[in-house]
Structure 1
Amino acid sequence: MAQAEDYGAELSDFRKRVAELRATRALPDGARPATLDAALFELQYVSDVLWPRHEQLVAAQRQTARPADPKELQLLRAVFQRLPLPVLLLDGDSVVNRLNFAASQLFGLRAGYAAGRSITASFNHEGRAAFRGQVAAVARHEGSRSLAVELMHGLSGETERPGRLWVTLTAVRPPGHRRTAVLAVCQPLAGPAGRPPAPVSPAVPAQRPDPAEVSSQVALMDLLDDMTAALLDEGRHGASPLERAARVLHGRFADWVIADRAEPGGGPLRRAAVLAPEEAPDGGGAAAIAAQDPSDAPLILEAARAGASALQIRPEDMFALGESGDGLPVLALTETASLLCVPLRLPSGAVLGVLTLLRAAGRPAFELAEASAMERMSRHIALALRAA
């Protein structure tokens, strides 16, 4: 501890001397050679003194740290998974590192899919910035805190309005993690805004499954079944697998479906199909979107290059999908409230195309569970394209 305090004092003095050197920039030119010599001396001091001292402190910390007991780690993982309340382990950017079974049921996510993705996509747009700010503050060791958030989908028994949660955040340092993580504990919030719910007795029996959630899962299974049938039916109107897939998704899953196909041999994207809402007058601008070059849509181009899906609720960048010939943003032209951009990627990593799905205002936004199902279908579509 004494060595760490001495090192901190030396580092503080060094920062003060650097500040003084920066202030000498206003001196006459004649004094600058001496200032340059002083700056070089300070750099040599960092290289010869401060950095070796830092390496010694790190090595001493590693020697004193005891290795974690595997049995204890296994016990901690089991306790984490079996907690009756939804619990998530987040980093400072609100990205999920781990979540228990109760949290996966609450948010409708698989643990493998949620890891590495921001949990804020499950919240209403208005509360996302506040949640990220609170998580970042806890990760900076500014103290534990709690806040209310609103989900994009209803909780059990609250199908008429989005579910609300009371989330408690606290900083933790899990074994093997180099940085501070944030433990988020979620509870359904049924009382007035800003007040946590009453503690739940462990003896209370589990609630019955939410009919709306079950219906949503059944609808996704039906969609997966119809998509598989459409991809296997090669003789349907002579259409390509990408066009057949777009027709399955149109209407029931998305208001707008924009399909882009990559040229053979890794060429640029070309627009293959644009399906607009049936009630849109004059196609709602479908002809203008069909004439657009996909390379002018930053979000589609990024999905093709990086091979990663994108889910956006109430997109902030109106030009994320480019603009039509008359300069109108595509997102404004389609009145998009949520979008899902999914690359058609083979197991080898090659991207054969991109599907962009849009939902207009008034329709429920895309959820992470729907994005997960769409990623599965995208792999099937890519395999069908390769076979064709």
Structure 2
Amino acid sequence: MADAEEFGAELTDFRERVAELRANRALPGGGGPANLDAALFELQYVSDVLWPRYEQLVAAQRQNARPADPREQQLLRAVFQGLPVPVVLLDRDSVVSRLNFAASQLFGLRAGYAAGRSITASFAHEGRAAFRGQVAAVARHEGSRSLAVELMHGLGNGAGGDERPTRLWVTLTAVRPPGHRRTAVLAVCQPMTKGAGRRPAAPGVAATEPAGRPDPAEVSSHVELMDLLDDMVVALLDDTGPRAESPLARACRVLHGRFADWVIADVAARDGAPEDGWLRRVTVLGPGNGPGADRAEAVAAQDPAAAPLIGEAARAGASALQVRPEDPFALGKAADGLPVLALTEASSLLCVPLRPPSGAVLGVLTLLRVGPRHAFELAEASAMERMSRHIALALRAA
């Protein structure tokens, strides 16, 4: 370490002397014999001192480097080969270093034959240049990226008549495998079936795939959210029901079962502080039969001040979305000491403050999903924030 620091200091001094020589050359008479001799001396210094010192440091670093564990290398190779998605390791010229079993099946190539050959030979001609350019950019550490490529004509159908994908969504990222002196590029190939829409890129990855047909699942989810939003507005505006029922109670009935398995509503007292009974629990809707009813009573008896996540949402006025929450006491605990998240068996939660566009927080709505039901998504959380503003306006008007 001391030798490296000393070498770095000498190299810094050398660069400063070279910069001074360049500055002197711009002065009148700066190209005289004295400056020329000094420049030749510096070149000789690099050749006789700095370069041998650099070679010694590199040799010492290689000698002190810990040899790779062969068992770990075997494990990495087994993981690479066993990946269920096609993966190819390329150099900056798109030449194959290795590919896993799934990739050899996709491209119809044996691993021994593919190594040392460009993977672009398996792509349609019009997309080869773009692919090579993207691989080179990733190898230059310009960031990961994704693009769509067409397989070469003839690779689309298998010998047995089974239809294979003719279009791939390839994600490229830079890696430095052990023992490699240069940066490699890892290409993950995801087959795109016919009629599929645009495959989203990973976060931070530049996507070059043009927009296509929308995903039917995304369209269906969007329609369900729009229907829920419409029913929520109708429930808040319809005052033909029991006059004793508040807008918040009507909103909870719309959300229960359809959007969330558990719906917990807390409202803020008109005269109170966050430290002095600021919130009070008014609604708990959970499983209605069997032990679910007892659990709902236990949750209803809880003091909202004992739920850290609810208190934080009320004070900060910001929503919270958690999938498989790590802190079991995020929603506090029941009277018997059991965490509410364990009591409700929640797998994801959404905590939304009821705050009108202008004004203070009027309450907090906590939604839980349990069991095999899919977790709350960002689109659902965004739709719930819109509905929370509607609920807050109805509460303030009431």
TM-score w.r.t. length of structure 1: 0.49
Q: Which has the higher contact order (CA 8 A, sep 6+)?
A: 1
Asked which structure has the greater CA Rg, the reply is 2
